[in-house]
């Protein structure tokens, strides 16, 4: 403790920066916590669709559900949706290709809102878009903020986040959703 106090006295500038470093680390840790929780849950949701893991129906049953919604062939669209959630979730959890991971989730959520929940209003209790909108906004926010220092994207330009990364995630997610909805 004495050594710490002596260093602070020797360098008053160091004392001024200590809280900022602590806050920055807490922010990076908080962002990691959000990415891991959100990303791994989304990856698990996709794994339910694609592989039938975690009590999911698997690709064949999920494909029948997609076909009932008008997606044909249902199994192909179930694979695309499930893989988007799985890979997008893993990408966000790892902080890897963050804008693309966010775009994958945004695109799936736009499709869910357009085909399933949009007709039921806002609130999830009525079958509305609340849940899908929250997922899309969190994914977009992570693209805008960037994955933080505790991410695999850290050395890359897009690992810093920003308006361009957020716009790219929203644009690619929107284009992907539009293509799926048109087909």
Average pLDDT over residues 100-125: 97
8: confidence class by pLDDT, cuts 50, 70, 90: very low
pLDDT of residue 41: 98
Map residue 95 onto helix, strand or coil. Answer: coil
Residues contacting 108, CB < 8 A, separation 6+: 81, 84, 85, 88, 177
DSSP result, 119-139: GG-S-GGGT-SHHHHHHHHHH
Average pLDDT over residues 136-140: 98
pLDDT of residue 143: 97
* % residues pLDDT > 70 (the chain): 89
What gap in Å lies between CA 21 and CA 42, rounded to an integer? 31
pLDDT of residue 142: 97
pLDDT of residue 139: 98
Do 163 and 143 form a contact (C-beta atoms < 8 A)?
Answer: no
Predicted TM-score (pTM) of the model is 0.86
User: Each residue of 20-69: pLDDT tens digit?
Assistant: 677 888 999 999 999 999 999 999 999 999 999 999 999 999 999 999 99
């Amino acid at each position: 403790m004495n050594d710490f106090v002596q260093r602070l006295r020797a360098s008053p500038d160091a004392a001024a920066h200590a809280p900022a470093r602590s806050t920055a680390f807490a922010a990076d840790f908080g962002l990691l916590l959000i990415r891991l929780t959100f990303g791994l849950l989304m990856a698990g949701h996709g794994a339910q669709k694609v592989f039938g893991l975690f009590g999911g129906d698997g690709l064949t049953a999920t494909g029948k559900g997609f076909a009932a919604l008008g997606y044909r062939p249902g199994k192909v669209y179930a694979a695309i949706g499930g893989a988007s959630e799985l890979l997008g979730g893993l990408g966000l959890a790892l902080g890897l290709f963050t804008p693309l991971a966010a775009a994958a989730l945004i695109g799936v959520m736009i499709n869910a809102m357009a085909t399933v929940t949009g007709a039921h209003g806002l609130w999830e209790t009525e079958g509305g878009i609340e849940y899908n909108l929250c997922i899309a906004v969190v994914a977009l926010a992570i693209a805008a903020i960037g994955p933080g220092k505790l991410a695999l994207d850290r050395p890359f330009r897009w690992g810093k986040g920003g308006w361009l990364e957020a716009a790219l995630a929203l644009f690619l997610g929107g284009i992907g959703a539009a293509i799926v909805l048109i087909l």
